[in-house]
Amino acid sequence: MPVQLAEQVVVITGASSGIGRCAALHLAARGARVVVTARRADALEQLVREIESDGGQAVAVSGDVTREADLRKVAETAVERFGRIDTWINNAAVYLQGRVREITPDEYRRVLEVNLLGYIIGTQCALDVMHRQGTGAIIQISSILGKRGAAYFSAYAAAKAGIDGFTQSLRSELWGTGIRVSTLYLAPVDTPIYQHARGKFGTIPKPPPPVSDPESVAKAIAKLIERPRNEQIADTFSFFYLAMSKLPSRGGDWFLHRTAQFTLSDIPDRGDNLDQPLNDVPRVRGGWAEPGWRGFTLRETVRVLPVESLLAAAALGFVTSRVARRIGAVGNGSMPRRRP
């Protein structure tokens, strides 16, 4: 039976901007009671006012996801205010762009603390409440970069890959407890995370087109809450790039090098939120969407993707169908026949 969003109490980390902010607005508009957390108290207060002005219910608790005491306070506030936690969404993340040899150990450490340890601590805080309840759901917002890394984003990719291993282990551990754990895989999304990134090249990174829109991600999150599943790909574009990343090593590397590389924008790097939050206007979008972009239809995908991407997609479809047939034959107890 589908879960009713209007009956949900949802905690969202990293809610001051981007995906977290969009998800909070979307879920609250559909009746969920949301508890939002991030480092910027002013941005959270503005978000709560916006939700309440539209008739929703929300409470803000500022904090850093790398500090256990901060996330314990978030969990306690959710229970005190709304009586329980139905869904906990780990979403907070920071970006770091640079060559491996140029990134300091402290910078790697900080990215891993926020993007991986923050998820682990959040999960632990959620589990303490959910085990007492005997039910609950945890959603890990992840990335296709955790499946196949891209140049200059080694720290981010390492953290996302770590989330996969952690979540798979946790899912096995929670078997039969009534607690579900889901992972949502994203391609690049039109959020301010790129403006907030620490870079080593003087200008901010630019995601490869087309980028997903935050609203589609928020809808995917809502869908996961209503109908939990182990893993979910956010949209058609995320599925496309995840499929391309499954090409054999050299083919996958070639594809990602030609079509999925983050480039540099012409926007000067004016600071980052790696160690401290930026005091910019809190917003959902980053302004990276393609002009005239009308959503992930076949026509739009063909319009914005490079020709080599489309050729690779066709090749992957052919290879996948051939492999599927061979696997099917083996699975049915027979081996593919040799031609005479």
State the catalytic residues.
Answer: 156
CA distances to 29, 79, 197, 224, 290 from 286, in Å: 22, 33, 12, 24, 12
Question: Considering all CA atoms of the chain, what is the largest pairwise distance in Å, rounded to the nearest integer?
Answer: 74
Helix boundaries (H) for the chain: 18-29, 41-53, 68-82, 105-112, 118-133, 154-173, 214-226, 236-244, 249-259, 298-304, 307-331
Judge contact between 68 and 121, C-beta under 8 A. yes
Q: Quick one: tokens of 205?
A: 């990174």
From 171, 186, 207, select the one nearest 287 (Cα to Cα). Answer: 207
CA distances to 269, 335, 336 from 339, in Å: 60, 12, 9
Number of H helices, E strands in the chain: 11, 11
Residues 6+ apart with CB under 8 A from 334: none
Judge contact between 98 and 202, C-beta under 8 A. no
Strand 263-268 and strand 198-199: the pairing is: unpaired
- Nearest-angstrom CA–CA distance, 121 and 73: 12
